[in-house]
Amino acid sequence: MNRGLDISQIVSVLKSVLGKGNASIHLHEPKFAGKEWIYVKDCLDTGWVSSAGKYVEEFEEKLAHYTGVKHAVAAVNGTAALHICLMLVGIKQGDEVLLPALTFVATANAVYYCGATPHFIDSDFQSLGINPDKLHDYLEEIAFIRNGFCYNRLTLRPIKAVIAMHTFGHPVDLDQLLAVCQKYNLELIEDAAESLGSYYKKKHTGSYGRLSALSFNGNKIITTGGGGAILTNDSSLAKLAKHLTTTAKLTHPWAFVHDQVGYNYRLPNINAALGCAQLEQIENFIKNKRALAEKYQRAFAKIDGITFFEEPGYAQSNYWLNVLLLDKDYSELRDTLIASTHEQGILTRPSWTLMNKLPMFQSCPHMDLSAAESLEQRIINIPSSAVLGEDVW
């Protein structure tokens, strides 16, 4: 018989998994156990700390190799990388871009930077990302094709692209989403900010869209302090991405000539040096994080009222941020549970506020968001640092 939600029991289970002592346990912390000091010191010793230096190119090459794409272009952060991705597929003022309502604000902000309108889509309970089936049915209702382009019959604006955001590191069902994109002539861009080390059907995320964006913020799988990257298999787009992110400056020994509006989105060499050292350890980070996720799964398997969210069957996730999902009957207890964990020094958090609820995006179009609204009220992120999984295996 279901006994309901016992908050004290949930806190106790978290403590048992985390082995909590007296120190607070943060949501996600970086670990520096490789050659970070050596590479960063090399930058300091040689003076190559800014926008040029060997580590930027080395980091790009290592990223491309790890993710299985032809090209990686480093950028100052993930938002900048996503902004350039959108520009390179031709997103401009007056366009609409489809993206999940349940996402970090950077996804919508990047669309707005282009002068385009975010158009918010519902989530899939299986992946926490865009629901391809529901998107297909929605486009059947509100979209039409004219001269090879998709238009919103309600706003008469062109719908140009879909951003697939891999929520908390769990891959979207990309095959189904690509089928929708093909039917409606939409570009697919992957917001893979959270999914470095995640695989969809044994192929790395970020390699399905025409362009994809990564993030290396301090709380990501690997960190460069701040940083991001653009992934693509299109050599011409990679070249243009590099040009645009380096202020569109033409190569010359001394002259400053810029052939279009560019962006100072370069990743400094000292940050790339940190990234090189981190990327050398990523397999161990992922192993530890998956071990931690498995321990959470076992611990919460028989707890009433709450479920540990597991990767979709088609995917191998990095479990960037682990998720506890409250049963619908107990969604109103989310904040009470979060407050209880904080009192015990276990720093949990809710999901993001849905994008359509934020004041700057309230007038943007959106479909029925019943699944996203349900998830928003029931998701609790719990500590997920790689170091927490070290003693599991």
Would the pLDDT of 2 be above 50? Answer: no
Could you tell me the two tokens for 153? 């019959």
Domains of the chain from N-terminus onward: 7-30+282-389 (3.90.1150.10), 36-279 (3.40.640.10)
Global pTM exceeds 0.85:
yes
pLDDT, tens digit (0-9, with 9 covering 90-100), for 83-129: 999 999 999 999 999 999 999 999 999 999 999 999 999 999 999 99
Q: What is the pLDDT of residue 3?
A: 61
Q: What is the pLDDT of residue 21?
A: 64
Q: Which of 13, 16, 7, 17 is nearest to 340 (CA)?
A: 7
Q: Tokens 């958090």, residue?
A: 349
pLDDT, tens digit (0-9, with 9 covering 90-100), for 345-365: 999 999 999 999 999 999 999
Q: What is the pLDDT of residue 1?
A: 33
